[in-house]
Amino acid sequence: MQLELDNDVADWRKPTTKLEESRARIDELDELIATLINERLMLCQEIGEAKKRMNKPVLDDQREKEVLRRVASVATDPVIAKQLVDIYTTMLAGSRGLQENLSETTSPKAQAGANENSELNQGLSQDSSEQSVAQTRNPERYFPNVTIIGLGLIGGTIARLIRRHSPKTNITAVDSPEVLQKALGEGLIDCAETKPSGAAERSSLIVLAAPPKKNIELLETIAPRLSRRQLVVDVTSTKQEICAVAELLELNGADFIGGHPLFGSQKSGLDASSAVATNGAVFCLTPTSKSSQMSVKRFRRWLEGLGLKPVEASPEAHDKVLARTSHLIQLIAVSLGASIADQNVSDNELKLHGPAFKQLARLMESPPEMWLDLFNQNKEELQNAIQDLVKNLNLASRALDASDFEKLTKMFEKASSVSKSSS
């Protein structure tokens, strides 16, 4: 079976698909523009009130000319520049009208009009909300063509989510021939590639789902082939290193958002992805200077359409927290397992355990390759987390020696508050 795509990429550029994608972007831009215009007009009202108190005229001709000059300079096309000037001329006239009408806003007639507008805006807001929900339920609207580089546990899980919630999305995967053959046979993907660059060129969203170090190499490899309107997201469990690399790379107008889906398994590979529980799982986004507001917004909606909960954090905050809520817990499980092994506990004796041990035992089976890479990328924060834990273990040890159960009770209370906050 042929795995590499032909050079003819007409399929993904079907006029209907491109039309829908462009309309979706326009809809998102309209919402953003309307929000910004609303903020601008509110500021104009504040300026109008200040001018009224200071007895200054509403019209500032020099200021308006400067605004129009600045707006025109943004456009690279003279025709578009003229359109922008016309739009802003209308907007400036509206701003003047707001300021000139300030004295009328307290009249009964004006108040009645305000109430009527309030009811209208409420109805429009409700319609807009319903429309937004409808859009969210169709992830294909945002990214009709997705490339997943690395079809292992996480990449495979994301592919299954797309197939379940957005069956018309065209999914291209990059992996070994054996993995790709299996995915094609399952109907999990539409196209298969063994090389990342060609696949990346043909997709609106590229997901880097290889091991941590490899994801950085992949980002550097595909960067020269990227173009405007494309979005690259990685799923690495540490964020500072790959985000720093993305900041320095020339992406040719493409966007990059650091990502980390907070679901997984102690197992690895495509087969294991079919058993991963994802419903309502958190997907952490760590935007960078290469992340436009529009890309972040549309990616959030895409995630919501897949049944995930997007949460934003800085790369630094992500790594600090994950060092304690994930990486340290994995290390604790491994350390505990190694400690028990050192005691030569028999298989029969190991049956004496409760559910808490069973959860940790699952982590003891994790493959070391991925975790060692993560530990290395987040070494400083993980060391801090280890020291904090050792400090509290020593505190517990001293409390036991002194039979200071009040101190131990306080530790339980602190732990309980953390548990409640995390749910």
The 10s digit of each residue's pLDDT in 397-407 is: 999 999 999 99
Token pair belonging to 89: 């001329």
Query: Where exactly are the structural domains of the chain?
Result: 13-136, 139-313, 319-422
Task: Check pLDDT > 60 for residue 134.
Answer: no
Angle ∠(306,311,317) on CA atoms, nearest 5: 145
Q: What is the pLDDT of residue 309?
A: 95
The DSSP code sequence of 347-412 is TTGGG---HHHHHHHHHHTS-HHHHHHHHHHTHHHHHHHHHHHHHHHHHHHHHHHTT-HHHHHHHH
Contact 233, 209 (CB under 8 A): no
Q: What is the pLDDT of residue 57?
A: 85
Token pair belonging to 307: 């049944």
**Which pairing describes strands 191-193 and 231-234: parallel, antiparallel, or unpaired?**
unpaired
- Give the chain's mean pLDDT: 85
Question: What span, in angstroms and rounded, lies between the C-alpha atoms of 395 and 418?
Answer: 18
Question: What span, in angstroms and rounded, lies between the C-alpha atoms of 158 and 303?
Answer: 10
Contact 369, 233 (CB under 8 A): no
Residue whose C-alpha is closest to residue 25's, from 294, 246, 264, 336: 294
As a CATH number, domain 139-313 is 3.40.50.720
Q: What is the pLDDT of residue 103?
A: 53
Task: Check pLDDT > 90 for residue 115.
Answer: no
The total of other beta-carbon atoms located within 10 Å of residue 105's CB is 12
Q: What is the pLDDT of residue 302?
A: 95
The total of other beta-carbon atoms located within 10 Å of residue 131's CB is 12
Task: Check pLDDT > 70 for residue 116.
Answer: no
Q: Among all chains, which residue has been given the structure tokens 């980390």?
A: 260
Task: Check pLDDT > 50 for residue 334.
Answer: yes
Give the pLDDT mean for 370-378.
89
pLDDT confidence band for 18 (50 / 70 / 90): low
Domains 13-136 and 319-422 fall in the same CATH topology: no
pLDDT confidence band for 50 (50 / 70 / 90): confident
Residue whose C-alpha is closest to residue 1's, from 193, 171, 201: 193
Task: Check pLDDT > 50 for residue 409.
Answer: yes
Residue whose C-alpha is closest to residue 315's, from 259, 261, 262: 259
Token pair belonging to 16: 């209907």
The 10s digit of each residue's pLDDT in 273-283 is: 988 888 889 99
Give domain 319-422's CATH superfamily.
6-phosphogluconate dehydrogenase C-terminal like domain (1.10.3660.10)
410 vs 228, more confident? 410
Q: What is the pLDDT of residue 148?
A: 97
Q: What is the pLDDT of residue 200?
A: 85
In this predicted structure, which of 69-73, 243-247, 252-256 has the lowest mean pLDDT? 69-73
For the chain, give the percent of residues with pLDDT over 90: 52
- 299 Cα distance to chain centroid: 6
The 10s digit of each residue's pLDDT in 166-181 is: 999 999 999 999 999 9
Give the pLDDT mean for 142-156.
94
Maximum mean pLDDT: which of 44-48, 68-72, 199-203, 401-405: 401-405
Q: What is the pLDDT of residue 17?
A: 59
Q: What is the pLDDT of residue 215?
A: 96
Q: What is the pLDDT of residue 106?
A: 44
Token pair belonging to 236: 């690495």
93 vs 332, more confident? 332
| 208 DSSP β-pair partners | 149, 234
Question: What span, in angstroms and rounded, lies between the C-alpha atoms of 54 and 238?
Answer: 55
The 10s digit of each residue's pLDDT in 88-110 is: 888 888 888 877 777 555 444 44
Contact 68, 89 (CB under 8 A): yes
1 vs 91, more confident? 91
The fold of 13-136 is Chorismate Mutase Domain, subunit A (1.20.59)
Give the pLDDT mean for 256-269.
90
Token pair belonging to 128: 């807009």
- 63 Cα distance to chain centroid: 39
The total of other beta-carbon atoms located within 10 Å of residue 268's CB is 18
The 10s digit of each residue's pLDDT in 187-203 is: 999 999 998 888 888 89
Give the pLDDT mean for 328-348.
93
Question: What span, in angstroms and rounded, lies between the C-alpha atoms of 171 and 15?
Answer: 18
Task: Check pLDDT > 90 for residue 52.
Answer: no
Query: What pTM was estimated for this model as a whole?
Result: 0.68
Token pair belonging to 18: 């491109």
